[in-house]
Amino acid sequence: MRIIWTLPLLALMACGGSPRGVAPQAQTAVHNPVPMGVDNSCGGRRYGSLVGKDATVLETVLILGPVQVIRPGGITAQDYQPDRINFIVGGDGTITQITCG
């Protein structure tokens, strides 16, 4: 069974800057959620500002294309779609990572 959530949403997120006092490595992770050298076929890097924010922010972002929100213990698609954006949500409800597939 394949589960894909496409989020029809109302508004576009404004890009925010990095908070002061954040280590350079953490800033890189926020702006580049898909590490360099890793497949970015889905365009997930453009949503890097969402890493660390509450997953409910996805309700305010217009994403045209296949999307999967992966929560702890949740059901995920077993197929690989290079154009699908995966938002991985941690136990605290925040987006921890963005991947393709």
> Looking at residue 84, what is its pLDDT?
94
DSSP state for residue 12 in the 8-state scheme:
P
Residue whose tokens read 């991947």: 99
Please give the helix or strand (H or E) that residue 27 lies within, else none.
helix 24-31
Give me the residue spans of the domains in the chain: 24-100
For residue 72, the number of C-alpha atoms closer than 13 Å in the C-beta half-sphere is: 7
> Looking at residue 38, what is its pLDDT?
58
User: What global pTM score does this model have?
Assistant: 0.63
> Looking at residue 51, what is its pLDDT?
94
d(CA 3, CA 50): 22
d(CA 85, CA 101): 6
What are the pLDDT digits (tens) for 49-74? 999 999 999 999 999 899 999 999 99
What fold is seen in the domain 24-100? Trypsin Inhibitor V; Chain A (3.30.10)
